[in-house]
Amino acid sequence: MKKLLKICTGAFMIALAFVASSMVGSSFGYDPIVSGNVGTVAFSFAKIPNSSLAVGLDLSAIASEIELHFRKFNQSIWINIQKGIDFEAYMRPVAGVKGEYVNTNSTRSTFLQPFQKQFTASGDITFTPYKNLARRIKMDVLIDNLHELFDTYLAEMMVDEKRTPDNYPFMKWFFDNHVIPGIQEEINAISVKGEYAAPTPGTPGASLESTDGVFTIIGNEITAGNLTNVITTGAITSANVVDKLEQFHKDLPAEWKKIAGPIFLAEDILEMYRYTYRDDKGMLPSIDVNNPYDRLWGTSKTLIGLPDLNGSQRIMFTPIGTSGNLLKLYDQLVMPTPTVQLFERSVKILGDMHRGYGFQTLDAVFVNDQA
């Protein structure tokens, strides 16, 4: 009813403007129709409220609302980010790490021997520290070209006084289309292939140089001679992929063959395994209805294909989960609320966090010989 009343009122005012303009125009000898139309257009412009675009885009408002959105929804933002991060989901989280995480790596020799009265030492346990690193990572984002935003409906809608900040379409668009998927994509890549490189002062470093990923750590430990559980498979092709993966399992130590868990490999190799097994055997490689495609047939292990491993032929098996060997190191559950600053005609977003990956012990890491 109120909307109808507004429509009727508006129509009445336009009609009144037309009549009044016609009468005024006629009194000066002008055509009444032309005078009425001119007067109506003038009235319409006079009634249009001043747009926020007419007085410019308030950069301080944008900066404030971005920071407010981070503060209000920081936890839910990071929960949504975690939902799209695949490799980290298999890792045991270790919180409160802002540098080194040192744990004990132990080895043992044999214990038992034939009896004799004297003490004859043959069994011993050695303890050596094993160090993992959580690197400090930063997020420096510059939102520039705001004049382009200024020319779109997003700018007008963002400063709509009828909306609360959490409902501004600019904020939802910015976080849903850029912040969340961007961080997801980069953490997925870093967790596998990240290779730390100290930044050049004044020059932004590449995302993959933020910290060492799991498969970079494996390569470094093999080179250093610290990781010796390396199973020879040779190059993997579509013709031999089934045999190579089965051989990897056969060559695990006997006590590890019966332990369930995932074997991590490139998504491309997993897909190759599925198709080759189907073509060779005339059936899918699994009888497990819960994992109809990813079961390594005849074993208790599943194959987990990671898209960020594509291009690599590395295979890895190690215990995972809340008490597993594969570690994710971080300082706190969610990234601290970033700082938002104005910079000339742009807005800067600055955020810091710690991230690192590694193992509780290298004794429980089994990989193949391919990089």
Asked whether residue 310 is assigned to any structural domain, the reply reads: no
**Is pLDDT of 1 > 50?**
no
Question: Over the stretch 352-364, which tens digit does the pLDDT of each residue have?
Answer: 999 999 999 999 9
Asked whether residue 266 is assigned to any structural domain, the reply reads: no
pLDDT: which is higher, 146 or 215: 215
Asked whether residue 297 is assigned to any structural domain, the reply reads: no
Residue 270 burial (C-beta neighbours within 10 Å; 0-12, 13-18, 19+): buried
Asked whether residue 346 is assigned to any structural domain, the reply reads: yes
E strand or H helix at 91, and its extent? none
CA angle 66, 141, 195 (to 5 degrees): 135
Residues 39 and 68 in one domain: no
Helices (H), 114-213: 146-150, 153-158, 169-174, 180-193
pLDDT of residue 347: 86
For residues 134 and 8, what is the distance between their CA atoms, to the nearest angstrom? 67
Rounded to 5 degrees, φ, ψ at 279 are -70, -35
pLDDT of residue 89: 92
Asked whether residue 242 is assigned to any structural domain, the reply reads: no
pLDDT: which is higher, 164 or 58: 58
For residues 211 and 224, what is the distance between their CA atoms, to the nearest angstrom? 19
Q: Please check whether residue 156 is in contact with residue 52, taking contact to mean a CB–CB distance below 8 angstroms.
A: yes
Q: Please check whether residue 201 is in contact with residue 179, taking contact to mean a CB–CB distance below 8 angstroms.
A: no
pLDDT of residue 27: 61
Residues 144 and 19 in one domain: no
**Is pLDDT of 297 > 90?**
no
pLDDT: which is higher, 311 or 31: 311
Residues 63 and 28 in one domain: no
Please report how many Cα atoms fall inside a 13 Å half-sphere around the Cα of residue 176, on the Cβ side: 8
Residues 88 and 171 in one domain: yes
Residues 71 and 189 in one domain: yes
Q: Please check whether residue 13 is in contact with residue 44, taking contact to mean a CB–CB distance below 8 angstroms.
A: no
Residues 83 and 185 in one domain: yes
Instruction: Report, as an integer, the average pLDDT of 273-280.
Output: 86
Asked whether residue 265 is assigned to any structural domain, the reply reads: no
Question: Over the stretch 326-340, which tens digit does the pLDDT of each residue have?
Answer: 999 999 877 778 888
Tell me the pLDDT band of 194, cut-offs 50, 70 and 90.
very high
pLDDT: which is higher, 200 or 46: 200
**Is pLDDT of 55 > 80?**
no
> What pTM does this model have?
0.75
Indicate the length of the chain as a whole number. Answer: 371
Q: State the DSSP code for 334.
A: S
Question: Over the stretch 202-225, which tens digit does the pLDDT of each residue have?
Answer: 999 999 999 999 999 999 999 999
Residues 105 and 15 in one domain: no
Question: Over the stretch 86-116, which tens digit does the pLDDT of each residue have?
Answer: 999 999 999 999 988 887 666 667 778 888 9
Q: What is the CATH number of the domain that holds 69?
A: 3.30.2400
Residues 163 and 100 in one domain: yes
Residues 30 and 65 in one domain: no
pLDDT of residue 54: 37
pLDDT: which is higher, 213 or 292: 213
Residues 34 and 134 in one domain: no
Instruction: Report, as an integer, the average pLDDT of 142-151.
Output: 70
Residues 19 and 163 in one domain: no
Residues 131 and 159 in one domain: yes
Range of the structural domain that residue 34 is part of:
2-47
Asked whether residue 102 is assigned to any structural domain, the reply reads: yes
For a pLDDT cut of 70, what percent of the chain falls above it?
A: 73
Asked whether residue 282 is assigned to any structural domain, the reply reads: no
Question: Over the stretch 112-121, which tens digit does the pLDDT of each residue have?
Answer: 888 898 888 8
Number of domains within the chain: 2
Residues 6+ apart with CB under 8 A from 189: 207, 208, 213, 308
